[in-house]
Amino acid sequence: MGRLSTALRTSRPLRVAILVVGVFLLAPYVLLPLYRFVNPVSTLMVWRWVTGHRVERTFVPLQQIAPALPISVIVAEDGRYCTHHGVDFTELRGIVEDAEDFGDLRGGSTVTQQTVKNLFLWQGRSVVRKILELPLALWADLVLPKQRVMEIYLNIVEWGPSNQFGAEAGSRYAFGKSARQLSGREAALLAAILPNPVVRSARQPRGEVQRLAGIYAVRGARSGGAADCGRTRRTP
């Protein structure tokens, strides 16, 4: 009886640990369908709040963002956004083939992958994070329309050096105007500073940012309807 009691006491922390891990793994799959209607925040935003930093973010609907911005993001970050199902297996296959080991697996993240990473996971390169990220991205593409995924991404990505999150805050910081007023060139500059808006600046763009913005502006102009899944009609 004593051994049984000891075993039960020992297994209780293990059960609690398994429950916590289970909740951590399953919660995103429950929350993602709700995000079709609820405007979420990112884990990085929450961390900044918890650590006492002021976060600047105004969630704006996709139709109130200049169409040039989602187009610029697609041509810069995820050229097959409109055709894949959350994960670009063509790109991923090439990365796996080029990698010498698991430590070399990096890059190739679609907009959908970046969105679920920002919503539920952590920053930095990690094979564990990538393994968790892939099925989440597939699930997000299944339960959320492409336009909604893009809308969430544009509103949670970090776009300024002083905790500016989302297109509205990033646009006002860089250009002193609303995201709906962005020109094609300005949208390309914002796309060019991803994923490091602390080092790169759209407000005072240097050579590399200028060069990338020029490339993205040309690609965006040539994309035609290829990026229409990431945009929507604007309100008057």
Average pLDDT, stretch 84-104?
A: 68
Residue 22 lies in a domain: no
CA torsion, ordered 182, 184, 186, 189, to nearest 10 deg: 140
101: Cα separation from own chain's centroid: 25
Length of the chain: 236
User: pTM for the full model?
Assistant: 0.87
Decide: residue 214, CB within 10 A, 0-12 exposed, 13-18 middle, 19+ buried: middle
Question: Is 75's pLDDT higher than 70?
Answer: yes
Q: Is residue 23 part of a domain?
A: no
100: left (phi over 0), alpha (psi -120 to 50) or beta: alpha
CB-side exposure of 51: number of CA atoms within 13 Å? 9
Q: Could you tell me which of 106, 75, 69, 72 has the C-alpha nearest to residue 91?
A: 106
Residue 106 pLDDT: 46
**Residues 145-176: tens digit of each pLDDT:** 999 999 999 999 999 999 999 999 999 999 99
- CATH number at 86 reads 1.10.3810.10
User: Do 69 and 175 form a contact (C-beta atoms < 8 A)?
Assistant: no
Task: Specify the range with the lowest mean pLDDT, choosing from 15-24, 28-37, 47-56, 69-78.
Answer: 15-24
pLDDT given at position 135: 96
Domain tally for the chain?
1
Asked whether residue 11 is assigned to any structural domain, the reply reads no
Q: Look up the domain containing 65 and give its range.
A: 35-230
Residue 101 has a pLDDT of 46
The answer to whether residue 21 is domain-embedded is no
Per-residue pLDDT of 111-130, as tens digits, reads 999 999 999 998 877 888 98
